[in-house]
Amino acid sequence: MNLDFIARLVQTLKDNPELGAIEVRRGPLGFWSSVRVSRAGHPLGGPGAGVTVTAAAPVYAAPPLQAVAPVSGHALPSAAGGAPAAAGPALLEIKSPMVGTFYKSPEPGAEAYVKVGNRVTAGQVVCIIEAMKIMNEIESEVQGVVREVCVENAQPVEFGQVLFRVDPNG
């Protein structure tokens, strides 16, 4: 792990007061294999505190981050037809863990990671957020059916902005 990477992690903590801690785990050959981020006031590993993301090694890049929170069962507009989704079980939100640019696919012209109606599993890459010229793969922490993609491709996103809504019972 190089000092530039560590300096960027420290700067991320300074720039985001809602973050409480960043834990980096080293994998084989000394490269980082996962990063755990916790919100302020939550110890690492506590309920609702942090999420773990895994990157393909060897990578010396800013870590991907992710936040997931439940949403009430209110009717939500559907990305496909504009008609509200049926009220029912609570949907889960996959939120942006950082400020950056949202990309739905690994490269221009490629198939989107996920679309409305696709089933996602925990650990599956759902999008990329580019921050400081680094492409960060965002992985789902939930499983279910994507009911809404809330962001257009190449759109700027803010920290905590909802990217996807997932029906865990779908």
Domains and CATH numbers, the chain: 3-54 (no CATH), 67-167 (2.40.50.100)
Query: Given this model, what pLDDT does residue 41 score?
Result: 57
Spell out the alpha helix ranges (H) of 29-162: none
Name the residue with tokens 């990329």: 128
Q: Which residues of the chain have pLDDT under 50?
A: 42-86
User: How far, in Å, are 54, 65, 79, 102, 132 from residue 19 at the CA level?
Assistant: 19, 11, 31, 21, 18
In sequence order, which residues have a C-beta less than 8 Å from that of residue 83 and are 6 or more positions away?
A: 77
Query: Given this model, what pLDDT does residue 17 score?
Result: 74
Query: Given this model, what pLDDT does residue 7 score?
Result: 74
Measure the CA–CA gap between 59 and 135, rounded to whole angstroms: 11
Query: Given this model, what pLDDT does residue 3 score?
Result: 64
